[in-house]
Structure 1
Amino acid sequence: MARLYFLYRSKKESAYLKVRLQLNSNREQFEATTKIRSLKSAWAKKRNLSAEEKNSLTQFNVKRKPLEDYIYKRYEEELPDATNRQWLKNVVNEYYEDKKPNRLAPENLVEFIDYYIDCRKEEKDIKERQVMRINTTKNKLIRLQKEYNTVFRIKDVNEDFKTKYIQFSTKHGYSLNTQSRELDRIKTFCRNASKKGVEVYAGFNDLKIKAEKTPKIYLTTDEIEEIKKVELEQDYLNNARNWLLISIYTGQRISDFMRFTKDMIVKDENKRSFIKFEQRKTGKDMYIPISKELKQLLSTLNDDFPRPISDQKYNDYIKIVCKEAKINQLVSGKKRVCIAEEGKKPTKNDFRNVLGDFPKWELVSSHIGRRTFATNNYGKIPTPYLIYITGHHSEAQFLNYIVLPDYEKAAQAFDYFN
């Protein structure tokens, strides 16, 4: 019997998989491109996968079986000539033509969200991380409907809906920022539904939940020095510390810097060194200059990067690193806590970000390196260069990462003018 398998055949960090049908002779085969997108890292790694990589594999496993069954069925029915290289391409194209959503836009809010995702995927205009966030909102709406014993339609997104949504969210411990962000997402569904001819509440665009200002933290130069010199007995903590310093020196997201390898280091005609890679979130080709601090760190690692670890382990380990470095200043911020009843096994819905005053090391997470890079270099390096390196789309987005208190900004301005 013919054997079917999938391959990752692209140099890009995210691409559509190839499907290959190997015939009995093993010398003849068909090949075609599917619409199953995967992360290169998820396809290559066997363990220590990040949440994004695990989700990529989960999506692949969900989508592969129906396609496999369709191809095998068509092969057994048609027994194509092995010289017909176009056969599998036609079969795969016909499979996706049959799968195209061809229904009217639903009026039910939860059903419309699935329709919205399908349309965005068809247009190749949505990323898996966006799908995960949208599904989080959808699942919350399902719980909201159950609590109020009702089914919300698109046109029901009005002031009464907003009141119920706030009451539900407050009761279950969701912050104002989460409520504001998700209401904006629901309004996006309404705007899209309106374009599709679905009836909407005329004033849905005016629905707002005022977000609260969330304190952000960064590491000062003195704290970075403490992190660099603290003695750590465990190898895994040293490894995490090195990644933390790399994030501070490069200003990149964890989805990018945790993929750095020595093969990404390139030099120009003037012997200047850069890290060349494609940013996962933006798809931009980047050249990050290797600073003298980063060059010094890499030289202690045989001019290579540390071994990669999962996002969760990284977040856990750098907290311990900062605790060992005595980053103990009491600061305001949000800490993720479990709200499940004592003795009850928590679910994914039992965690909230709670505002309060905590030792600084408890609030450290993967984004602190990026904020530290932006804050500590602001005013020292021209802002357009910093915006290029961080990959922000606008100066307003970049300035959101600057955590300097107003006094320090004023002091920098004074030094500049004088």
Structure 2
Amino acid sequence: MATIKYLIQSKNENANIYIRYSINRESVWKRKTGFVINPNDWSKDKGQPLQKSQELKAIKFKLEKLSVFINDAYNNSIDKGQIFSGEWLQHQIDLFNNKVVVVDLDILTNSIDAYINSGDNLSSGSIKNLENLKKFIIKYEIDNLKGKQILIRDIDLNFIDVFKKYNRAKGRSINYIGTYISILRAVVNRASINGIPTHPQFKQIKAIKQVKEPDEIIILTEAEQELIKNVKLEREAYINARKWLLLGCLIGQRAGDLLDITEKNIKDINGMKIIELKQKKTGKKVAIPLIPSAIEIIESGLPYRINLENFNSYCKEVCKEAKINTIVKGKMRIDEKRTLTVGKYEKWQVISSHVCRRSFATNFYGRIPTSILMNITAHGTETMFLSYIGKTTYDNASQMLEYFNKLAL
């Protein structure tokens, strides 16, 4: 049982009144209450003001209210994994004395907006994640808090626990939840740097270690690309999507970069035709040499711009028409909640824009030096690249041995 005692430590006319808060022998903290008193008006034995005037009675009343406030905070937090400390005690005193003033950036959604509009070198993917976090927070406030806005200082261990349970109930994966907890931590950290007070528990909030589930590497083989190239399609939208899909498998770029390619990106350097672009995610400028089959697609007429959602949808239909129906392990959204479900599906069902970059990396591995492939796909390390295409360091060693054998001939 926590105990509270008030005391003064000075003989000055305006002596600070301290609170001594004790949970056990090891957990004892002392902080200023924000109230002062003349030592002549203080009862050391009772640890309270002498009741000689209305003013002294008012101080005693406020100290009693402070005791109730702190004990309530303690009781409300004890079952939530709260770590109690001197900082926690000071935070409760400040709350009681209304010293913690709510300003614009105290509001979580406002801090998210400030992060997005900060001018920091954020990728389009990071901005999208921040926007998605804001949408979630607004929906959570409406559904669970009757519209009450969440403050930066509300982000404690209990909030994170509720965040996890809320998302798990919606069928979201631990990796999904971990990603958004990391984004939330980044928002709160940035707000803290800007002087916004955070909860004493915030530093105890740890990132969730993401679990990488072994996925089957889904690619379009060169034989499958040939089937797609030759299948008869009636809809103009499908014919256009086919061009993007086949071109993507030959240049190895993320969909956001692929679908933005225009005639301006096509260059002729010393008789070599290339695509030159600046990757959105990395900010890296790359020049990709075009092999004959890629040049053929471009010279037949560069496909027109479509959005990512339509591209994903049309690619499935194109692959279905081409009978890309090998049974593979993959993920699909199959229910009303659009929850990703792992299962066995025909390959066309799980085809998306991501297949372009992965097909390029896989199909050209061993034929083009890995360092050159990595420069095009923008993988930071060889380990990441090999994992991306489902290879191991042993595969790489085997590849090197082949090169050595060729040199020995």
TM range (shorter): 0.5 to 0.7
Q: Is this contact kept in 2: 1:113–1:189, CA < 8 A?
A: no
TM-score norm. by structure 2 comes to 0.64
Matches within 5 A, 1:226-245: 226-245=227-246
Q: 1:281 to 1:310 in 2, by over 3 A?
A: same
Q: Which amino acid aligns with 2:278?
A: E
Question: What residue is the counterpart of 1:25 in the other structure?
Answer: none
Compute the displacement of 1:268 (Å). 2.2
CA contact (8 A) 1:277 1:285 kept: yes
Asked if structure 2 preserves the Cα contact closer than 8 Å seen for 1:244 and 1:369, the reply is yes
Cα distance in 1 for partners of 2:243, 2:134 equals 38
Q: Give the secondary-structure state (helix, strand or coil) at the position aligned to 2:339.
A: strand
Q: How big is the alpha-carbon RMSD for the aligned residues of Structure 1 and Structure 2?
A: 3.1
Residues 251 and 369, structure 1, Cα contact 8 Å, conserved in 2: yes
The CA deviation string for residues 5-59 of structure 1, in whole angstroms up to 9 with x for no partner, is xxxxxxxxxxxxxxxxxxxxxxxxxxxxxxxxxxxxxxxxxxxxxxxxxxxxxxx
CA offset at residue 322 of structure 1? 1.0
Q: Among residues 307, 316, 325, which one is paired with 1:328 in the alignment?
A: 325
- AA of the residue aligned to 1:355: V
* Alpha-carbon shift at residue 209 of structure 1 (Å): 5.3
Q: Partner of 2:169 in structure 1?
A: 171
Q: CA 1:378 to 1:105, structure 2 compared with 1: closer, same or farther past 3 Å? A: farther
- Over 3 Å counting, the alpha-carbon distance change for 1:293 and 1:338 in structure 2 is same
> What residue in structure 2 maps to residue 273 of structure 1?
273
Q: Do 2:154 and 2:198's aligned partners in 1 also have CA atoms closer than 8 Å?
A: no
**For the structure 1 residues 407 and 333, does the alpha-carbon distance in structure 2 shift closer, same or farther, using more than 3 Å as the test?**
farther
* Aligned-pair CA distance for 1:411: 6.5
Equivalent position SS for 1:206: coil
CA shift at 1:138, angstroms?
2.1
1:140 matched residue in structure 2 = 136
Residue 129 (structure 1) shift: 4.8
CA gap 1:262/1:106 in 2 versus in 1, 3 angstroms: closer
2:186 is equivalent to residue 199 of structure 1:
no
Question: 2:112 & 2:379 partners in 1: Cα distance?
Answer: 26
Q: For the Cα contact (< 8 Å) 2:324–2:347, is it kept in 1?
A: yes
User: Contact (CA 8 Å) 2:157, 2:205: kept in 1 or not?
Assistant: no
Quickly say closer, same or farther: Cα 1:411–1:233, change in 2 above 3 A. Answer: farther
Size of the aligned set, in residue pairs, is 299
What one-letter code is carried by the residue in structure 2 that aligns with 1:199?
Answer: T
Q: Does 1:308 align with 2:305?
A: yes
**SS, match of residue 287 in structure 1:** strand
Aligned-partner Cα distance in 2 for 1:189–1:377: 40
TM-aligned CA deviation for residue 112 of structure 1: 2.9
Amino acid at match of 2:165: Q
2:340 is aligned with 1:353: yes
Q: Distance in 2 between matches of 1:223 and 1:121?
A: 44
Within a 5 Å distance, the mapping from 1:393-408 to structure 2 comes to 393-404=380-391
Residue of structure 2 in register with 1:249 after alignment: 250
Query: 2:368 aligns to what?
Result: 381
**Rg (Cα) greater in structure:** 2
Give the direction of change, closer, same or farther, for the CA distance of 1:255–1:416 in structure 2 (3 Å limit).
same
Q: Alpha-carbon deviation of 1:154?
A: 3.4
Matched with 1:188 is 186
For 1:239 and 1:165, the matched residues in 2 are separated by: 42
Alignment of 1:37-76 (within 5 A): none
Looking at structure 1, the residues matched to 397 and 342 of structure 2 have their Cα atoms a distance apart, in angstroms, of: 27
Conserved 8 A contact 1:254-1:311: yes
Check whether the contact 1:218–1:403 (CA below 8 A) recurs between aligned residues: no
- Equivalent position SS for 2:345: strand
Q: What's 1:64 paired with?
A: none
From 352, 363, 367, give the equivalent of 1:365. 352
Question: Which amino acid counterpart does residue 267 of structure 1 have in structure 2?
Answer: D
- The 8 Å contact of residues 276 and 285 in structure 1, kept in 2 or not, is answered as yes
SS in 1 for 2:162: helix
Query: In structure 2, how many angstroms separate the alpha carbons of the residues matched to 1:126 and 1:230?
Result: 41
Q: Return the alpha-carbon distance in structure 1 between the equivalents of residues 259 and 391 of structure 2.
A: 27
- Structure 1 length as normaliser, TM-score? 0.62
> Residue 275 of structure 2 contacts residue 289 of structure 2 at CA under 8 Å; is this kept in 1?
yes
The letter for the 2-side match of 1:225 is: E
Q: Identity of counterpart residues, as a percentage?
A: 30
How big is the shift at 1:174? 1.4
Q: SS of the residue aligned with 1:266?
A: strand
SS of the aligned residue for 1:163 comes to helix
Distance 2:352 2:131 in 1: 24
Question: Which is worse superposed, 144-153 or 359-368?
Answer: 144-153
Structure 2: segments with no counterpart, 5+ residues: 1-101
CA distance in 1 between counterparts of 2:132 and 2:161 reads 20
In 2, Cα distance between the equivalents of 1:376 and 1:363? 19
Q: CA deviation at 1:389?
A: 1.5
In structure 2, how many angstroms separate the alpha carbons of the residues matched to 1:409 and 1:370?
Answer: 20
User: Larger relative CO (CA 8 A, sep 6+): 1 or 2?
Assistant: 1
Query: Quick one: which amino acid aligns to residue 294 of structure 1?
Result: A
Give the C-alpha shift of residue 417 in structure 1.
6.5
Q: Secondary structure at the match of 2:117?
A: helix
| Secondary structure of the structure 2 residue equivalent to 1:280 | coil
CA contact (8 A) 2:238 2:314 kept: yes
Instruction: Note if contact 2:248-2:356 (Cα within 8 Å) is conserved in structure 1.
Output: yes
**2:314 equivalent in structure 1:** 317
Question: Map of 1:77-88 to 2, 5 A cutoff?
Answer: none
Partner amino acid, structure 1, of 2:169: K
- Please report how far the alpha carbon of residue 252 of structure 1 lies from its aligned counterpart in structure 2 after TM superposition: 1.4
Question: Does 152-161 or 364-373 show the bigger shift?
Answer: 152-161
